[in-house]
Structure 1
């Protein structure tokens, strides 16, 4: 199968994050086994979805990991020009949900496997495909925890998020949380008998706005846009009717942190403000939604130099979006981003990847295999 055929098969799996993924993981497992790869499914606690880890070459020698995620975001937007989960070719463009983020990379990896399997690899190439990345990198931690029993410590991890095939050394970390305040309902003519959850939430929202403004003044890192850490409230829900005292209100917050800053710590002042409402009779729920650390790979690291040679361009310092690469680095492994597609095409109707981008990615992977061969 060529890379377009493989992408066609992968896009046809509606592997939306948060749902079972046995169908896509099983198809990839069967494909890899046909070429002699040693494959393990690494389930998570949900019981209906798994990560996949495969090795081509000797597992007891340090090699390289090609990392991607099998899940995609939903595709319910009415603006799609064609069925999101059916690949559509138009010129060099290949349309479908996940073509850029990031089944294009998965397809390039799988298309390179026949070549890799025929090489006499002195160092292995590993394939690590995760689940539920799109809802907070929930699956990959279970895979990372099992790496010591699956292979020798890797020399590096290449995370194939869309970067236009330009390697990237850094990204911010992220933490997100949901705050729900429960008050007491009643008729709006007697506010003295109720507890207005929306009014109480204004204290929490004000704390978030203050922290966001404070972060604008540093610390900073010029590699990023913006150069400082950030915090925002992205969702707020509450109330039933203008003449009913609202008994609940919910906001969802996120913080994005430059390297060496704990993203969850940026939310701490907001959490403290929320919890202080308990003294006024409110019930407060604080629910973490997701968290991953920043990525910061030194320019002179062996992995950065290698990717510069494989792609023919010096790696970029940083991008604004986040990836699983930070989690690999936090586990003690060098990690870098490099994959086909453009992040600006992701998470929107008529997502697409270019055939030339897939070809460049496959070429890079095969060149990596040649470096690992005897």
Structure 2
């Protein structure tokens, strides 16, 4: 089974929702690769029930290129799905299913091209790197990157196959997110002197977050992004049971998105400083991506795609972590990010075939 459509159907059929075990889908990919004479390395995370996968086609002792994707998907609980989101279905040219676009389509294309790549006299290897829990803030790939020096020579570059219409993308913002938890003492609202209001305890940190969000607008700017400044927002606030009960627990989740050169965790420092007495739980953190348009990787992808690289996108990827690890990275994958995280998510047949063609051209380029 090496048809890209068949492979996409199998991948979509695994409900590999972020934050859960991924042994089934990892096992399927590993067995598929072994069937083509490739022994993958499985790199576990600390959770104990999920793994990254890394495989090399060609001589791994030589510098080569990484095709990078994630196998997790966001939940599919939206009521507007017209059929089971974990059963790929075709409607005209559309291949519909959770993860079809973000980003099992790119993974299916990479796997479909394995037989052709194996048959090529590659002068440099092509690596396949698949991660877990990307949708939770890129939690899986750091463990893979830490293991990479023992798996291959330093790569020349990584192609992150997030949906970009197969247009190379040079930059994205970094992100950090945290949860604040306040604990109080419940009681009747008529006797606030006998309780401790957890929601009130959150207010200094929430006020600091709101003030920081405004201050960032006059801070460093990068015109490639919309908005051009780093940003911060309070995403969720929860607490309390009824208006006449003193709330004994409250929490808020806050995120920061940072332009290149700005540490997203540093943006949240005023919030953390104002959170005295609260529990602070960092949920995720990854750096911005910034690849120079004249970098050899950017020129290579422009050549392979025939498209002028795009300066920046607003969504985040694992590319910044690859770059932080010393591996040049660029975003280039099939589909449109506007279809991701939505009901009736889809990739077209043409987009899937175009992704295969891109990988084929990369392989042929490495045979020169």
TM-score where L is the length of structure 2: 0.98
Match of 1:60 in 2: 61
- SS of aligned partner of 1:38: coil
Match of 2:178 in 1: 177
- Note the 1:54-203 alignment, pairs <5 A: 54-203=55-204
- Note the 1:280-299 alignment, pairs <5 A: 284-299=278-293
Query: Which of the residues 316, 323, 330 maps onto 1:322?
Result: 316
Question: Which whole-Å deviations, capped at 9, do the CAs of 1:128-157 have from their partners, x for residues lacking one?
Answer: 000111111111111001111100000000
Taking only aligned residues, the RMSD between alpha carbons, in angstroms, comes to 0.9
Query: Which of the residues 349, 352, 357 maps onto 2:346?
Result: 352
Equivalent-residue separation in structure 2 for 1:185 and 1:27 (angstroms): 50
CA drift at 1:78: 1.4
Equivalent-residue separation in structure 1 for 2:38 and 2:156 (angstroms): 19
CA drift at 1:45: 1.2
Equivalent-residue separation in structure 2 for 1:29 and 1:330 (angstroms): 27
Question: Which whole-Å deviations, capped at 9, do the CAs of 1:104-123 have from their partners, x for residues lacking one?
Answer: 00001011111111001110
Equivalent-residue separation in structure 2 for 1:8 and 1:247 (angstroms): 47
- SS of aligned partner of 1:368: helix
- Give unmatched runs, 5+ long, in structure 2: none
TM-score where L is the length of structure 1: 0.97
Asked if residue 336 in structure 1 is aligned to residue 330 in structure 2, the reply is yes
4+ residue segments displaced more than 4 Å: none
- SS of aligned partner of 2:87: coil
Question: Which whole-Å deviations, capped at 9, do the CAs of 1:305-351 have from their partners, x for residues lacking one?
Answer: 00000000111011000000000000011000000111110111110
CA drift at 1:202: 2.1
Q: Is the 8 A contact 1:36 1:56 kept in 2?
A: no
CA drift at 1:38: 3.3
Match of 2:12 in 1: 11
Please, which moves more after superposition, 30-39 or 328-337?
30-39
Match of 1:21 in 2: 22
Q: Is the 8 A contact 2:30 2:39 kept in 1?
A: no
Match of 1:281 in 2: none
CA drift at 1:79: 1.1
Please, which moves more after superposition, 30-39 or 103-112?
30-39
Match of 1:51 in 2: 52
Equivalent-residue separation in structure 1 for 2:179 and 2:89 (angstroms): 38
Paired residues, what number?
367
Query: Which of the residues 299, 302, 308 maps onto 1:308?
Result: 302
CA drift at 1:197: 1.5
Question: Which whole-Å deviations, capped at 9, do the CAs of 1:45-95 have from their partners, x for residues lacking one?
Answer: 111111000000001000000000011111111110111000010011100
- Note the 1:260-275 alignment, pairs <5 A: 260-275=261-276
Equivalent-residue separation in structure 2 for 1:314 and 1:142 (angstroms): 33
Match of 2:360 in 1: 366
Q: Is the 8 A contact 1:38 1:56 kept in 2?
A: no
- Give unmatched runs, 5+ long, in structure 1: 279-283
Equivalent-residue separation in structure 2 for 1:193 and 1:207 (angstroms): 28
Q: Is the 8 A contact 1:203 1:273 kept in 2?
A: yes
- SS of aligned partner of 2:274: helix
CA drift at 1:2: 1.1
CA drift at 1:32: 1.2
CA drift at 1:37: 2.1
Equivalent-residue separation in structure 2 for 1:142 and 1:338 (angstroms): 23
Equivalent-residue separation in structure 1 for 2:57 and 2:87 (angstroms): 30
Please, which moves more after superposition, 202-211 or 306-315?
202-211
Match of 1:255 in 2: 256
- SS of aligned partner of 2:86: coil
